[in-house]
Structure 1
Amino acid sequence: MGVQSLVVACGAVALCLALTTATNPGFVVRITQAGLDYAHQHGITILEKELAQLKLPDMSGDSRVGRVGKVRYELSRLRLRDFHLPYSRITPISNVGLQVSISNAFAELDGDWRVKFLFVRDHGSFDLKVENVYIKISLRLGSDAAGKPTVSTSECSARISKVRVLFSGRLGWLYNLFHGAIESRFRKILEDKICDIVDKSVQNELQTYVQTLPVTARIDAKTGIDYSLVAAPRATAQSLDAGLKGEFYSLAHRSTVPFSPLPLALPSDHDCMVYFGASSYFFNTAGIAYHEAGALVFEITEDMIPKDSRFSLDTSLFSVFIPQLEEMYPNMPVKFRLSTPTAPFLTIGPGGISLNPIVEAQAYAILPNSSLAPLFLLSLTGNVSAVINVRSDHIVGSLDVGRIRLSLKDSAVGTFEVRTMQSLMNILTSSSLLPRLNARLDEGFPLPLLDRIQLSNILVRFYQNFLLLGADVHFQPRG
C-alpha cells in the first residue's frame, strides 16, 4: 500500500470512528428568530449603556493652518454625553454563529480645548457629534469542558462616516479651520474603542450570562438531570439549536444507559420564541434512574385506604377469595409492597405518551409481633397514559391507568383465582398508588433555562419519539 493510499485509509477509519461515536441529544433547545430578536433587544440595551461609559484620552498635536502657520492644540476633559444604537439586527449564520449589525448609530461628546500659535493663546469648549456609525459583530458559539455554552467575539468592525467638531470661544471660527485633522483622529480612536467595549461586553456580560445555564439539575434526594451540551450550539438560517444530553441519573450511582437516543429532528415551527424537544430517551432514563435509586417501591397499608372505601385491608377481606387465609392468619392486617422488576419504558407518538409497566405486588400479613409473613405475589400490567404540561419552569404531568390485568407469580397460601381480586386491586392502585405517583409528577422536572427567564404562551405537541414544548420568554431584571 502506498503512502497516499495509507493516508486515505486512515482518514476513512477516523471518519467512521467519528460518526459512530457521535452523540445524539436526548433534549434539544431551539431559539427562533423571534427569540433571538428578544434577546438582542436586551443585549443592545446593555451595549448602549457600556458605550455611554466610554472613556476617551486627552489628545494634543500640531496642525498647519493657512497663513497662520503651525497651531498647537490640546483637547482634554472629553465627556461622552450619550451613545445611541437605534437600528440593529441579529442574524444566525448557518454553521458559523450569530452576527449583529448596527447601523446609523450616533453619539455626542464635549470637552475643553486649548491652542497656541505665534504669540496667541486661547481656550474654550467644543462639541463633537459622531454620526452614521456602523458596527458589525460576529459571535462564535461553543461549549466548555463542563458542557456549558460559551460565546466570544470572533470579529468586530466599526466604521464612522461622519465626525463634526464645533469649537466655541473668542477665536472659535479660526480653530474650526483645522477641524479635519482632529476629526480624523477622533474617528480612529472611537472606532478602536467601540470594538474594545464590544469585546468586554461580550466577555463580561454575555458570556457570564450564558454560563448560568444549569448543566445539571438536582430533582430530589435521589435523582438529577444532565443537561450538558453534547456539541457546540448550531446556527441555522432561521434559528439557534442546542443539543443537550437530556439524561436522568441516580445520585447514588450513575450507570451507563443501556440504549442511545434516536436522532431528534424538530419541525420547522417558528411561531414561538423557544422550543424544547424532549425525546423518549429523556423520559426513559427517568425510569431507569428512579428504578436504580429504589424510588419505584411503594407500600399500601390500612392507613392509606380512603375512609369511604368501606373495607379494611386485612386477611378477612382476602379470605373471600382465599378461604384458607382466614385459618392461617385470622384477622391480621395486610400490607402490599409494590415494585417494578424492570425500569418502566414508555413510547411517544402523535397520540401522546403511553406505557405498559409491569408491577409486582407482594402481599404480607402483619403478625402480632410486627414481623411480616409473605402471602402471595401478583404481577400487575395495564395501559397507562400520561398528560404533560409546563408550569413555570417545570415539566409536570399526571398518569391515568386503565384496567389492570393480574396474574399469580407465587403463593404461600395455596392457589386461587386471581380474577376474583380484579376489582379490589383496581381500587387499591387507583386510590393509593396513583395519587402518590401523580403528586410526585405534579412537582415536575426543571427545564434548562438561563437565569431570570420565565415562560408564557406554552404549547404541547406530540411527535414520533419526542415531545415538543413551545413557549415565549420573558426576561425578569433583578430588583
Structure 2
Amino acid sequence: MVFSSEAPDDTVHKVSVMKKRREAMKVCGFFFLLSMFSPFLDANPGIKVKITQKGLDYGIQCGVDLLQQRLKEEIFEDMSGQETYGFSGVDYTVSKIQVNSVEFPNTSVSLIPGIGINLLINDARATVNANWKVRSWLFRSSGKLTVFISGVFLTAIVTASQDNAGHTVLLLESCQGNVGGIDIELDQEAGWMYKYFVNFLEKPTCISLTTNMCPYIGFEIERINAELKQRQVRAQIDSFARVDYSLVNSLSISKASINLDIKGTVYPVGNDTEPPFKPKPFIIPEKNNSMIHIGISEYFLQSASLVYYASGAFDVSIAKELSSYFRLTTKAFGSSIPKVARRYATPYPVILNLKPIAAPVIGLHNDSFVLEAAGSMEVLAVLPNSTTQSMFTLNITAITRASLTIFEQKLIPSLCLDSFHLSLAHSNVGFFKVSLLKNFFSYILRNGVIPAANAKLKEGLRLLETDSMMLVEPVVTVHQAYLLISTDLAYNVEEDQGESEEFFTIDA
C-alpha cells in the first residue's frame, strides 16, 4: 500500500522510508538471485552462474513471504487532507494505519529470452485497519475503519545490465498496475457520517494505490541499484588473496535461466597484476534440477594457486606433522647415507623444509581433479646449540588427486598422493642413490606433507558470505576445465531479522 501525508512527522517518516526501502528490496526477492554473486568489454569469465526457473520461483516466494511478514510490522504515515461538504470545508485524518492481513495467491516470475524478467502479481488482497477523524465548524466525529483491498494486479518487466565497474544494474522497462476494488467499513458509531465518508475515501484511495504502484517499484529498483553500486566487486579471501567478482559481460537471459559471467580472478592483496594466462571458454550444461549452478574454471583455481605460491603460503616445515608418528632424527638416514652415520654419530633431530619451485598446476578433467606440484625439500640437522646444518636438498615432483566437499558453506578440497619423483639437487653429505630413500619419503609425503597441506586447505573457499542464506544439498562434479556446483538455497528469516538494511549480502 502507498499512503501519503502533507506534513508527516520526521521520525515516523524516516522509520517508514527505511522500512519501505527494505520492503521493496524484499518484495523484489527474486532479484537477490541476480545480485548475490555480483558483489562478484567482452571476455571469457573465470566463474559462471546459472540461475534456473526453479531458483527464480524460490526467490519470488521468499519475496512474498517477507513482504507479508514485514507489511504487518510497517509504520505508515498518517493520511490527511480537506474536502468540501455542502458549504463547509471538512478536515479529515486517517491515522494508526496497520496492515492486518495480506495475500498474494497468484504471483509468478518468468524469463523473456534476450530481454529480461517478467513479474506478475494477480488478485492480491489486503485488509487494513486505521483510526479516522473528521472536523468542520459544524461537526466533528471519529472512529475506526477497515479497508478491504482486492483484485490488485501488477505486471512489470525488469531488465539487467552492468555498469563500468561490473556491478549489476536493474531497469524497470515497463510496468502496469491496477486495483480492482476498495471497500471501506466504518464502525457503527459513525452514524450519519458513514455514507459520506466511505464514498469520499474509496475513490481517492483506489486511485492513489493504482497510480503509485509502478513509480514506487521504479523508485525502489533505483535504491537497489544504489545498494549494488556500493558493493565491492573484490572480496578478500584471507590475508593473502582477494577475488574479483565483477561481471565481464551483460547478463544473458534465456527461456530457462539467467546466466552471469564473472571475472573470477584471484589477486594478491594490494596487487592488481593480471596473471600471465587467460581464462578459456566453458559452458555450463542446461540443467533445471537445482536453483543455482556455479561453474568454477581452471583459470580461477590456477590464479589462486599462483597467488598463494608467490606469498609463500605453500612453504611447509615438516616437524609437528610427524611428531605423532615418530621422532625424526639423523639416524633415520644413516643406513642409506654412510656419511650421515659418520658425521652424526649422536642422533640429532631433523627438520624438513619444503618449498615449491613453481605454482602448483591444476588440471580439471571429467571426474578428475589433478594437482601437480614441484618443489625442493631441504633436510637439516638440528645441532645442540639450536642451530641447523643442511645435509642435502631433494627436488620433488608430486601428482595428487583432489576430492571436493562442501561443508558449512565452504568448498573444501582434500589431496591424496598419486605418485612422486625424487632427484638430488644438492648434498653436503656426498652423493647417494635417492632411490634408497623413496619408501622413506613416500611415508613423509603421505603422513607429513599431504596432511599439512590438507590442514591449510580445510579453511576452504567460502561460497556465501551470509548466515541468512544456506546451500541445500549441494553437489560438486568435475568436468573438462571446470568444477560445477549445483545446489538449492534456503533463506533463514530469523537470521535476516538481525541485519539492518542489508539486501542478501552475499559476496563470494
TM-score, scaled to structure 2: 0.76
Deviations 1:232-281 (A, max 9, x none): 44433222222222233322645321111112311111111222211111
Contact 2:267 2:274 in 1 (8 A): no
In the TM superposition, 1:313-352 aligns within 5 A as: 313-314=329-330, 316-331=331-346, 332-352=348-368
Q: Which amino acid aligns with 2:207?
A: K
Question: Superposition pairs for residues 85-96 of structure 1, below 5 Å?
Answer: 85-96=104-115
What aligned pairs does 1:231-310 form with structure 2 within 5 A after superposition?
231-251=249-269, 253-301=271-319, 304-309=321-326
User: After the TM superposition, which residues 153-232 of structure 1 pair with which residues of structure 2 at under 5 Å, given as runs?
Assistant: 153-164=172-183, 171=192, 175=196, 179=199, 183-199=202-218, 201-202=220-221, 215-232=233-250
User: Gaps spanning 5+ residues in structure 2: where?
Assistant: 1-40, 499-508
Shift, 1:355, TM fit = 2.0
* Displacement after TM superposition at 1:112 (Å): 4.8
Q: Structure 2 CA distance, aligned partners of 1:174 and 1:446?
A: 62
Is the partner of 1:305 in helix, strand or coil? helix
Aligned counterpart, 2:6: none
Q: Deviations over 1:105-147 (max 9, x none)?
A: 224456758699xxx9897877654322211233343455654
Give per-residue Cα distances to partners, 1:189-213, cap 9 Å, x unaligned: 1112333443455455x55876797
Q: Which moved more, 1:95-104 or 1:151-160?
A: 151-160
Match of 1:407, SS?
A: strand
> What displacement does 1:185 show?
3.3
- Asked whether the equivalents of residues 366 and 372 of structure 1 are also in contact (C-alpha less than 8 Å), the reply is yes
Give the direction of change, closer, same or farther, for the CA distance of 1:174–1:197 in structure 2 (3 Å limit).
closer
Q: 1-side partners of 2:98 and 2:317: how far apart? A: 71
Alignment deviations for residues 359-416 of structure 1 (CA, whole Å, 9 cap, x no partner): 2112233344444433322222232100001112111121000232212233333322
Shift of 1:29: 2.4
Residue 440 (structure 1) aligned with residue 456 (structure 2): yes
Name the residue aligned to 2:380: 364
Residues 212 and 451 of structure 1 are in contact (CA less than 8 Å); yes or no, is this contact kept in structure 2? no
Q: Secondary structure at the match of 1:415?
A: coil
Q: Which residue of 1 aligns with 2:474?
A: 458
Find the structure with the greater CA-based Rg. 1
Q: Percent identity?
A: 23
Unpaired stretches in structure 1, ≥5 consecutive residues? 1-20, 64-68
Residues 308 and 370 of structure 1: is their aligned pair in 2 closer, same or farther, counting only changes over 3 Å?
closer
**247 and 171 in structure 1: CA distance in 2 versus 1, 3 angstrom threshold:** same
Partner of 2:12: none
Q: Residue 370 of structure 2 corresponds to which residue in structure 1?
A: 354
- Work out the number of aligned pairs and report it: 446
Amino acid corresponding to residue 374 of structure 1 in structure 2: S
Partner amino acid, structure 1, of 2:103: H
Q: Separation in 2 of the partners of 1:132 and 1:223? A: 53
Corresponding residue of 1:132: 151
2:51 corresponds to 1:28: no
Partners of 2:146 and 2:323 in 1: how far apart?
82
Partner AA of 1:192 in structure 2: T
One-letter amino acid matched to 1:160: V
Partner SS for 1:402:
strand
Match of 2:328 among 309, 312, 326: 312
TM-score scaled by structure 1?
A: 0.80
Q: What secondary structure does 2:208 align onto?
A: helix
Counterpart of 1:321, as a letter, is S
Which residue is 1:12 aligned to? none
Structure 2 residue corresponding to 1:376, chosen from 382, 392, 398: 392
The residue type paired with residue 310 of structure 2 is E
Q: Give the root-mean-square deviation of aligned CA atoms.
A: 3.6
Question: Paired residue for 1:5?
Answer: none
